[in-house]
Chains A and B, each alone.
Chain A
Amino acid sequence: MRIGRWRILSHLARLLLVVSLGGSITALSVSDSAHLQAVYPSKLELVLPHEGDLQMLGASSGNDAKASILITVRSNVDWLLRVKGYHGGRMQKVTDSGVLLKNQMRVQYTGASPSRDVVLTNSYKNYRRGPPGEYLMPTDFKQRFAWVDQPTNYTTRISFKVSPD
């Protein structure tokens, strides 16, 4: 009879132990993580129209001639667009490199809130700047022709450079 009680108590104790252990196992939480990494480099793009050389319209002594283009800048960093000309910003006679126009060419942003004219020189000058994004910039090239300028064909090259600001 005493053994019988002992066995009952032993089974009860085991049962309590199993229940208690089982309860503690379900209460534990396990976790793990995945580490993600991405390299997103800064990038700048500059697009000028290349449908051929630009022809200025309205060239006449004592007046301004004009050519319009659309410049595209794409950047994921703050950017600065600069512009420069050649020969001191002056157009030169096509067939004779020694003959230059009297006045320098000017560049103007003509979009919303148009900017003031930028007079072209041999050195880069600030033209536009902005935060990351894609920008379409309508731009006018303006050339004043003086009466002392020879009537002939003139040409020049205009360079733009976009860089992180």
Chain B
Amino acid sequence: MNAIKFGLLYALTAASLLSIVAASQPVSDSTRVYASLPSRIEINVPTQHEDLQLQNCSPARQISVTGSVEVKSNLIWNLDVAGSTPSGRMHGTGDHELHNSMTLVAQNPSGGPVVVPGTESSSPAVALLSNIAPGDYSGSSAIGLIFGQLFEWDDYADDGYQLTVALTAGPA
């Protein structure tokens, strides 16, 4: 009789232990996640560089002024430039224009110099920077620009010359 009781007790204990061990096993599950990343390009001229002033203009002198542009892209991209006048030269208030075109140089990364083309040029836009990969900047997209203008003796003294340079970033 005792042997039967002992056997039953042993079986129950063993079953309990087995069930506890089996149920204590970790449970895992997983899920898949998708995302679509669209192509995107942003360009921005900082406010302080929207209006640039060429200082100390004088005949036979090359005058430069520093500006910048910020480009962000997840594609390989180009940076094109174009001037707002038909010739691409600075235009005066008195219907005069300078004899030399403005030049543009990019500092970081280096690009140019390019002669700023006009709106009536056969190629109104010129690539200042070409085939820039998204990772080329290591997160920084600020590009230093140097606008250069040569004044000659035959340029008419005017109250003021101006030119708007359009900077366009697009897929390469």
User: Does B2 interact with chain A (Cβ within 8 Å)?
Assistant: no
- Chain B, interface residues (CB within 8 Å), range: 20 to 34
Q: Are B29 and A47 in contact (CB under 8 A)?
A: yes
Closest Cβ neighbor of A161 among chain B residues = B28
Q: Are B37 and A150 in contact (CB under 8 A)?
A: yes
Dominant secondary structure of chain B at its interface with chain A: mixed
Give complex CA distance A151, B35 in Å: 10
Q: Are A155 and B34 in contact (CB under 8 A)?
A: yes
User: Does A43 interact with chain B (Cβ within 8 Å)?
Assistant: yes
Give, as a whole number of angstroms, the nearest-CB distance from A144 to chain B. 11
Cβ contacts under 8 Å, B139 to chain A: 146-148
User: Does A137 interact with chain B (Cβ within 8 Å)?
Assistant: no
Cβ contacts under 8 Å, A88 to chain B: none
User: Does B39 interact with chain A (Cβ within 8 Å)?
Assistant: yes
Most A C-beta atoms less than 10 A away, residue of B16, B22, B28, B72 = B28
Q: Are B31 and A150 in contact (CB under 8 A)?
A: no
Cβ contacts under 8 Å, B53 to chain A: none
Q: Are A147 and B31 in contact (CB under 8 A)?
A: no
Give complex CA distance A54, B32 in Å: 6
